[in-house]
Amino acid sequence: MILAIALIVCGLAGVAWGLPAMHRLRKPFDILASLLVLVGVISSLLGALILTVPGFFKGYL
């Protein structure tokens, strides 16, 4: 549960920093900010999935 909350918080922090940074930074660095936003969205969604469905990645074996 703590891992899921950490994923959500870090993902939202990455999105909150990356969205304005895409427009503020120079040309090669704005791509890194865009990738950070993508990773932030993915980690937030993954954290929300782990939080709501705890046994999702355990499998049926």
**Length in residues, the chain:** 61
pLDDT digits (tens, 9 = 90+) for 1-48: 899 999 999 999 999 999 999 999 999 889 999 999 999 999 999 999
Owner of token pair 């932030």: 40
Helices 27-52 and 2-24: angle between axes, nearest 10 degrees = 160
Global pTM?
0.86
- Read off the pLDDT band of 61 (50, 70, 90): low
